[in-house]
Structure 1
Amino acid sequence: MTATMEVQPACGVQDITPRRVALRLLGPLEIVVDSVEVPLPQRKLRQLLATLLIRPNATLSTEALIRELWGDRPPATALAALRVYVSQLRKFLIRHDLDGRWCTLRTRAPGYQLQVNDGILDTVCFDRLCALAADSAEAGHEELASKQYREALDLRRGPTLEDLGESTALSGAALQYDEAWMTALKRRVDLDLRLGRHLELVGELSRLVAENPLSEGFCARLMVALHRSGRSGDAFVAYRRMREQLVEELGIDPGLELRMAHQTVLADDTAFHLRRASA
């Protein structure tokens, strides 16, 4: 799945119109219509739209929206200003032929609701693709599960809401989806290891370890990929480097996952040499 989404069956809906619409949170906030980004330059409007999108179809109170837009010390004019921003956002959606067709901004006590059509919001598609992948893996369809995880991972364009992460709700949502993306990535790597793609994974995992130097999970997977590629020595070097970094920077020993990877490589290596000696 490409970053510019059509309404696709993978997200549960058939494409019923030639227009392509995407609302994107997995990266900077983007509104895309027919492969062209529609600019929404006012920061408060972007904050308002993102806050409504992180809880699609839910009604958010005016108090919650004011807190997200202005923090704990809003101005006396905050309620009136919020109403103006809501009106401007509604006009923006109508102007670009989005309101009523793809999403609908409603006034609902005690605040406002943004109803979003299925399949156009990247976070919804990400969640559904990950759920489909988990079901496929549980059913033993590992090739399909790996493909579905790849499609979900491809939706991310950078840190979630990296241009709007200062409010409590938005920063929390950003952390949630960035962590979910990392979890999905590890699960896809595990599937690819089970599918025997260790040679292809060495380069990717080496990059991930370099980008996340204290990630024991990526290092453990790199050790397994190296070992299965006939590079047990390099696997031990990767373990030693990670252990030294953990001790020097955090003052801790390797965790269970990394220790188990080390023991697996060590046991297989020992068994290999014993078989050669016996032969």
Structure 2
Amino acid sequence: MTIPQAYRRLREQLSAVCGDFSDYEARRILEYVTGCGVRDFPWKLIENQPIDADTVCKMEDVLVRRLKHEPLEYILGEVWFCGLRLHVTPDCLIPQADTEVVCERARSLLPQGGRLADIGTGSGCIALAVLAGTKNTSAVAYDISGPALSVAYENARSLGFSTRFCPVLSDVFAEDFMKGDGFFDVIVSNPPYIRTQDIAELAPEVRAEPLSALDGGADGLRFYRRLLAVCPTHIRRGGAMVLEIGYDEGEALRLLCRERGLSCEIFQDFGGNDRGCVIRP
């Protein structure tokens, strides 16, 4: 089998599980099994190079798992996010492109030398993307999952940010959450915000992600209420919270903030949907 033949086979098979993304996933799988870089892949297609038997077996193993709706990012163990190559496992949420606008907003608000808190850090994607785009900053990354924090710290270390990244095992609903942790210039979070009753209707790939990172309670707002109760007292003067939200939760967040005397600015993602909010005391 040659690389072009493998590419065609993957595209045909993958169309059943990822539709229009079959081309992208076929490329990612071939890059992974052949060790070929993104820039080199087009040349491999032109050169019509054969693939050895071991590589074909590896490709078929990946394909079988993907056809069972296992997320490709978990199979490959990595994802690209904000230009960073991050390790991911089933212990953490898979970073999505729409979340990059949350990172961009947090970066713009974090001053040089500033201090960031990332609540529900998962793979560390948001905190690390902010650190990568700011100077002399540091981040405290909270998560209830020890395995997820291990992934986050591994990513921080591989990117050279281990001295600027402090993982903290903590439950946002614990009475002592953030007590003694001081003040932050920016507090960011992509909390669970999917309504409990909607979980069963999600794509199987999404349901393969940690339930604790998806389920936002009956109305999807459980974590926002807790964050708005705790975080404002930990924001430095002139600082802000930046939260990711569901596309239909903007008005609910405005109301929650208004009830607490907080300002709330909604911003959109690349598709024009409400994706986040900036909250100030």
TM-score (norm 2): 0.28
The structure that has the greater radius of gyration is: 1
**Structure possessing the higher relative contact order (Cα contacts under 8 Å, 6 or more residues apart):** 1
TM-score (norm 1): 0.28
Higher helix share: 1
